[in-house]
Structure 1
Amino acid sequence: MARGRAGVALLTTALLLAPAAALGSGQSAHAAAGTTRFSGGPKAASGVSKTLKAAPGTPGGYAFADDAQRVEGAASTGAAPTLTAGRSYRSTLPASGPVHYGVQLDGTSNAYVSVTAVPPAGGTAAVSDGLKVSLRDGAGRSCDLDTATIGAGRSPRPVTAWAVREISPRRSLCREAGTYYVSVERADPDGRGASPEPWELELAVVSEPPVKEEGSAGAPGAWNSATPDPLTGEEQRRPGGAGFAEAALIGEGVWRDDIRPGRTVFYRVPVDWGQQLHVTAELGGSGSGRSGFVPSALDLDLYNPVRGHVADLGIGYDGSQKTESLTPLPPVAHANRQAPNSKVSAVRFAGSYYLVAHLSAEVAEEFGDEPVPLVLRVRVGGSAQDGPGYQGDSVPAGIFTVTEEDREAAAEGTADGDGTAMRALAVGGIGTGSALLLGLGVWTVVARRRAAP
């Protein structure tokens, strides 16, 4: 602990020597560090995860990618704006009717379009309302459709759906190069209690190249579907991020945050090829001394590296400690996409898997507005293996890989504590001069000393 404070003090000195104007240069932390995920994504070359909170007044408390390009969806496909793979976009979804976007796809790569909808915070929500995303080819033929709903908790929260264009011998449609159209609409805008306001959207497109040898990935193999005992050990505090772009980095371990009713927190876990992810969620006692019951107090959703839904769990809450585990998932493998089970097929590539936890606003009505302890027990089993061997690069590059920096940062907890100083350096960006370079050099020495036995 003392050595950590000394390192921060040295960095603070370096920052004070830098021109103050540089801190207002507008350079984002992830941009300065060399982002290799989605535009606005959390993966930085330094291995440090960005966990800054959403700015006051952001819709629903959600932190959109800070360099997301604003684009307006069209009422017809003929006027649809074009989305580019590797970029993040921000748009608006009206209370009724679809909006349309275009994407240019080649004839060899798989494509994934994710859409996150953010209802206004403090509003109302219908159980069946949510988000419907569809993908069609230029002739209007359906390629894929996905729906994500608010659910039984009726608590306004970000919901994410994805649409897939997959090049596969099993599919004869949607294989040609050309313009495809993404349509986004509310799932049930007329449902009882549905929000009448427009919702904000975050959209992203990812391109996955084909493997080098056709059929080299094979069929899904047998895997151990037994649920292991939840991981034990000392809890480490790790505040969750306010959006996918600011998801807090965690690895195997026991992680705690105190979550307020109505809030959603985001985490990401690096999971490599051949590794198997197990997650248990635990809500602690409210400490209010009040009695009551909230049937759907906690929603925990797991998303894959392209923000495709994998699995979820719900916890009912009576003010006392409650625990639930995600359904067992297979080891990450390219061949999983051939499985008929959607939970298995979604675990199709390595990279950052996202845990998104929402505590229902109803908890405040029953037990007060004080934060409730949230503990995530994360186990990453198995040894990392080689990937399937792609013919080219993904767009964005590196989204289906786990680097050594990922593993080290997840294990050492650099997304919290001392990582704050590293993020401060990144925000300073270019133009802070030799003082920052000196600070980085000092920090490197300190980090090496801390790593020494």
Structure 2
Amino acid sequence: MAVRLAVRLGVRLGVVTALLGTTVALAPAQAALAAATALTPSPYAFADGAQSIEGARSTADAPLLKPGTSYKSSLPSSGKVNYSLQLDAESNAYVSVTAVPSPGSTVSVIDGIKVSVQDAEGISCSADTASFGAARSPHPIAAWGMRERSPAKTLCRKAGTYYVSVERADPDGEGSSPDAWDLELVAMTEPPTAKTGATSAPEVWDSASPQPLQGQAETRRGGAGFATATPLDQGVWRDDIRPGQTLFYEVPVDWGRQLHVTADLGSSDSAGTGFTADALDLALYNPARGPVADIGVGYDGDQKSGSLPPLPPVDHANRYAVIRQVGAVRFAGSYYLVAHLSESVAESFGDGPFPMTLRVRLSGAAQAGPAYAGESAPEGVFEVSDEDREAAAEGVAAGDDTAMRAVAVGGIGTGSALLVGLGVWTLVARRRGVA
């Protein structure tokens, strides 16, 4: 969580550092920064320290992905790129791939990414596809691949080399720009359980949709990527979102708990008219960044609301379910909410920002999880710690001082940010002088 805070602060104050190196007066710099922020949605924030690698056209040259490490790569408009994994014979392995088209590019309804995993003999272990949907608005989307050990599966069980292939979902389709997309890849491993547990998904769970949580909304500014996602607890959370912008949040969900989320998009103060299908896209991803469920909310300038479909309580045995969204709720940890507002909203209702409210409800009592016979990579990714709970309650990592919490949760004025940066710069300069 400390790393996430550092990245979050770096993203928000990066412009400040650049301004400090110039001789531009403070007031003009503030005005210029405010104007740029108002017109340009935040770009995707890759994980701090993500390693740059190049996917190979042939599996023979596929670079190795180490579990627990984040990578930055790219995907051409046609053809596959390949990566490799070295796996033991017992662990489950997951690879999430986030595709990030350029904000100015165009995408088709069915275009997106396809992620597949094969063993050394070319046998398919899994395949998953993510697309942009009816709004045709370019934004970060993620799909995952897996090698899972299951009593019901006889393939992909050996130790050895496995290959991850990534390609465009509709490489020959019309309506998509031919430019390459950035990729963020993260591999994770889940150890086996110490004891043999259930081999089928729970048959009975409460699938009723509860009343959306009510109450006064509290402001929480979303992050610009999975690595900088803003922690949320149960509550009503308010943020502003601009056309073309994607905001990331994370909700710690323990074993036995059930997550319910409703998104409200407020009315426009513009006199414009029109309708955008799936204007607000809200997607939920599990701790391995695997897709769980999503909802598209149409917009005509009046307030609109939509809820994610009912999800079961988090249970290790959910992985044996036939329904994909049930099978994805297979481990505890941080579940990610990713909200995107379609670029086309600006055509009818202006650049915004538009008020968005997230109503997050957690039901059910936390339970003990499975007794894992080993440690995951990265460590602790499939559990909820006390630090995670504190971070969700406060909006930032536990242990950080009040000033830093103010920056990460609500943002601070541009002038204040510049003054903070100037103070740090002055202190560093003085220390260098002493040295």
In which range does the TM-score fall when normalised by the shorter chain?
A: 0.7 to 0.9
The match for 2:258 is 276
- The one-letter code of the counterpart of 1:327 is P
For 1:88-99, what aligned pairs fall within 5 Å after superposition?
88-99=70-81
Kindly state the Cα deviation for residue 392 of structure 1 after the two structures are TM-superposed: 0.6
The match for 2:48 is 66
Partners of 2:239 and 2:356 within 8 A in 1? yes
- The alignment status of 1:153 with 2:135, answered yes or no, reads yes
For 1:438-449, what aligned pairs fall within 5 Å after superposition?
none
Kindly state the Cα deviation for residue 52 of structure 1 after the two structures are TM-superposed: 5.3
For 1:28-427, what aligned pairs fall within 5 Å after superposition?
33=2, 35=3, 42=4, 50=8, 53=11, 61-215=43-197, 219-414=201-396, 418-420=403-405
Could you tell me the percent identity over the aligned residues? Answer: 60
User: Partners of 2:10 and 2:302 in 1: how far apart?
Assistant: 30
- Structure 2 unaligned blocks of 5 or more: 16-35, 409-416
Kindly state the Cα deviation for residue 261 of structure 1 after the two structures are TM-superposed: 0.1
Secondary structure of residue in 1 paired with 2:175: coil
Kindly state the Cα deviation for residue 50 of structure 1 after the two structures are TM-superposed: 3.8
Kindly state the Cα deviation for residue 59 of structure 1 after the two structures are TM-superposed: 11
Kindly state the Cα deviation for residue 405 of structure 1 after the two structures are TM-superposed: 1.8
User: Partners of 2:214 and 2:181 in 1: how far apart?
Assistant: 40
User: Partners of 1:299 and 1:161 in 2: how far apart?
Assistant: 16
Secondary structure of residue in 2 paired with 1:411: helix
User: Partners of 1:82 and 1:214 in 2: how far apart?
Assistant: 31
Secondary structure of residue in 2 paired with 1:184: strand
Please list the CA deviations of residues 50-100 of structure 1 after superposition, one character each: whole Å capped at 9, or x if unmatched. Answer: 465476899981101121000000010001111100000000111110000
User: Partners of 1:224 and 1:289 in 2: how far apart?
Assistant: 43
- Structure 1 unaligned blocks of 5 or more: 1-29, 36-41, 436-453
- The one-letter code of the counterpart of 1:354 is Y
- The one-letter code of the counterpart of 1:108 is E
Partners of 2:41 and 2:243 within 8 A in 1? no
Kindly state the Cα deviation for residue 193 of structure 1 after the two structures are TM-superposed: 1.3
User: Partners of 1:158 and 1:261 in 2: how far apart?
Assistant: 14
Secondary structure of residue in 2 paired with 1:61: coil
User: Partners of 2:250 and 2:131 in 1: how far apart?
Assistant: 22
Partners of 2:265 and 2:303 within 8 A in 1? yes
Please list the CA deviations of residues 148-190 of structure 1 after superposition, one character each: whole Å capped at 9, or x if unmatched. Answer: 0111110001110001111011111000000000000111122
Kindly state the Cα deviation for residue 413 of structure 1 after the two structures are TM-superposed: 3.5
Please list the CA deviations of residues 10-31 of structure 1 after superposition, one character each: whole Å capped at 9, or x if unmatched. Answer: xxxxxxxxxxxxxxxxxxxx6x
Partners of 2:134 and 2:278 within 8 A in 1? yes
Kindly state the Cα deviation for residue 328 of structure 1 after the two structures are TM-superposed: 0.7
Secondary structure of residue in 2 paired with 1:405: helix
Kindly state the Cα deviation for residue 420 of structure 1 after the two structures are TM-superposed: 3.6
Partners of 2:59 and 2:163 within 8 A in 1? yes
Kindly state the Cα deviation for residue 408 of structure 1 after the two structures are TM-superposed: 2.1
Partners of 2:96 and 2:142 within 8 A in 1? yes
Partners of 2:120 and 2:163 within 8 A in 1? yes
TM-score norm. by structure 2 comes to 0.84
Partners of 1:266 and 1:354 within 8 A in 2? yes
**Residues 49 and 238 (structure 1 numbering): CA distance in 2 closer, same or farther, change over 3 Å?**
farther
Kindly state the Cα deviation for residue 422 of structure 1 after the two structures are TM-superposed: 8.2
Partners of 1:133 and 1:182 within 8 A in 2? yes
The match for 1:6 is none
- The one-letter code of the counterpart of 1:87 is T
Partners of 1:51 and 1:246 within 8 A in 2? no
TM-score norm. by structure 1 comes to 0.81
User: Partners of 1:89 and 1:329 in 2: how far apart?
Assistant: 30
- The one-letter code of the counterpart of 2:310 is P
